[in-house]
Amino acid sequence: MHYARNPEVVIRREHFGGIAFNKANGTLIELDREACIFFEQLDGETSLQNIGKQIQDELNVNVSIPRLYDVAESLIGNGFICKGVKSYHIIAEDFPEQKDYLSAPESVHLAVTHRCNYHCTSCYVDDSVTEEMTTTEIKNLIDEMADMKVFQLAIGGGEPFLRDDLVDIVRYARLKGIVPNITTNGSLLTSEIAEQLSGHIGQIQISVNGHNRSLHESFRQTESFDNALIVMKILREQKIKFGINVLLSKDNLREIEQIISFAAKQGASTINFLRPKPSKSESNWYERARLSENDYKTVQESLKNVLGNYHIKITIDCALSFLMNSESPDDLQKHGVYGCSGARRFLSIHPDGNTYPCSFIDSYYGGNIKNGLKGVWEGFNEFRELQVTGKCGVCNISKFCAGCKAILLYETNDILSQKQGCFIKKST
């Protein structure tokens, strides 16, 4: 029996090997060079012996066929490989030169508008940006993303459903082989729109900060809890995969298990916890909401206690990587924990096309996207060169965390500061 790559899996070569992305379920794995060639050759026809020979020819290393067989069997379980199905053959390119960032973003975070129908006191969005890219300009960006083999388009805002071309954008991205995902407050997403998105959208992320009205609405619009319940029902009915974004704060940090249980009962497939970042809407919101080192220990304990108890995937944002400090580097890699990923794995685009390393930083500018994604991605050198030194520099997980520069800039106005806001005791 020959093995084949799942036809939904796309591979992009990187200097370390490559990235395999499964468009069907949004999962991503990193491959070393041998595994990358192995994956590329899995077309359902080429035998493992011949693949072994290809690897030997290109990398000049001996590979054991039983080892290739074990790798193939282990990847069947997570949907990357099937038995006996013909898939497409990839024309291999050279491995790119070594850099400390990917050859192209893994995902592009695009705020399609900064307009919003809500007024959350937590909101970090700069509503003075009123210019918006046209549908054609966004489609041009999607074309470039496809050329550069970007895997995902993360659409956010503002409230993205205020744009009447959103379905068109989503469908175009899917047509170009890119998985489109949307983050929304859910209030404008009707059954009719959901029906038009069905089959094209990857996942919809609904923002829900608590399992009951008072918790959720403590810094969100009145009626937003009911709206979230309605939209989750619509998404269940349309069988659209959805997840929940929970913005952590002093209010909800002791309710983590109840919130996870609520999300699982609602049918969410993932729950993503976000670290609070400074608000542009109400200047002292962050001072009230931000978590202390002890609060983060509570969050870490709660997450550990519930792990495996609910049928839902639990994730954390890149600014919370330090919560994983008890994991080994191998496990961190396996769980896809990469720490600060701004301008390394993704970039953020404002509605007017201006680019930044991530949605929470506007002091490092990468140029306007209308001048080309490739050039913008190769920029950002000043931001990338920032190495968090001091206590962070000697922390054993600094490679998988690297501190949140958005928070450092706000807290100390010094990105190289030692004040990281995490609870790990370092031996300086």
Stretch that binds ligand SAM, among 120-128, 141-149, 163-171, 377-385 (CB under 6 A): 120-128
- Residue from 240, 406, 415, 422 that binds ligand SF4 (CB under 6 A)? 406
**Please, which residues bridge with residue 346 across strands?**
107, 342
If one asks whether residue 124 binds ligand SAM (CB under 6 A), the answer comes out as yes
Q: Which is nearer to ligand SAM, 19 or 246 (CB)?
A: 246
For ligand SF4, the binding residues in 270-329 under the rule CB under 6 A are 318-319
Is the separation of the CB atoms in 310 and 270 below 8 Å? no
What is the pattern of x (binds ligand SF4, CB under 6 A) and - over residues 361-400? x---------------------------------------
Picked from ligand SF4, ligand SAM, none, the partner binding residue 342 (CB below 5 to 8 A depending on kind) is ligand SF4
348 binds ligand SAM (CB under 6 A): no
User: What are the residues whose beta carbons fall under 8 Å from the beta carbon of 409, sequence distance 6 or more?
Assistant: 361, 363, 415
Q: Which of 107, 152, 184, 321 binds ligand SAM (CB under 6 A)?
A: 184
Determine the Cα–Cα distance for residues 8 and 87; give it in Å rounded to an integer: 9
Contact string (CB under 6 A) for ligand SAM, positions 144-163, x = contact = ------------xxxx----
Based on the shown chain and the rule CB under 6 A, indicate whether residue 243 belongs to the binding site for ligand SAM. Answer: no
Distance CA 53, CA 77 (A): 25
Report what 119 binds from ligand SAM, ligand SF4, none; CB cut-off 5-8 Å by kind. Answer: ligand SF4
Q: Could you say which of ligand SF4, ligand SAM, none residue 362 binds, taking C-beta under 5 to 8 angstroms by partner kind?
A: none
* Closer Cβ to ligand SF4, 81 or 204, answer by number: 204
Contact 56, 62 (CB under 8 A): yes
362 lines the binding site for ligand SAM (CB under 6 A): no
Task: Check residue 247 for interaction with ligand SAM (CB under 6 A).
Answer: yes
Judged by CB, which is closer to ligand SAM: 288, or 384?
A: 288
Q: Which of ligand SF4, ligand SAM, none does residue 248 bind to, with CB < 5 to 8 Å depending on kind? A: none
The reply on whether position 245 binds ligand SAM by CB under 6 A is: yes
R_g (Cα) of the chain, nearest Å: 22
Of the pair 123, 291, the CB lying nearest ligand SF4 is at: 123
For ligand SF4, what does the binding mask look like between residues 152 and 181, x meaning CB under 6 A? -----xxx----------------------
Q: Site for ligand SAM (CB under 6 A): which residue of 122, 249, 321, 348?
A: 122
Residue 151 · residue 177 · CB < 8 Å:
no
As a residue count, the chain comes to 428
Options 243, 276, 339, 342; binder of ligand SAM; rule CB under 6 A: 276
Closer CB to ligand SF4, residue 75 or residue 401?
Answer: 401
* 150 touches ligand SF4 (CB under 6 A): no
Smallest distance from ligand SF4 to CB 1, Å: 43
- Nearest-5° angle of CA 383, CA 384, CA 388? 90
Stretch that binds ligand SAM, among 136-144, 272-280, 296-304, 389-397 (CB under 6 A): 272-280
Question: Which of the listed partners (ligand SF4, ligand SAM, none) does 40 bind, with a CB threshold of 5 to 8 Å by partner kind?
Answer: none
Binding site for ligand SF4 (CB under 6 A): 116, 118-120, 123, 125, 157-159, 185, 318-319, 340-342, 358, 360-361, 404-406
Q: Which residues form the interface with ligand SAM (CB under 6 A)?
A: 116, 122-125, 156-159, 183-185, 207, 245, 247, 274, 276-277, 279
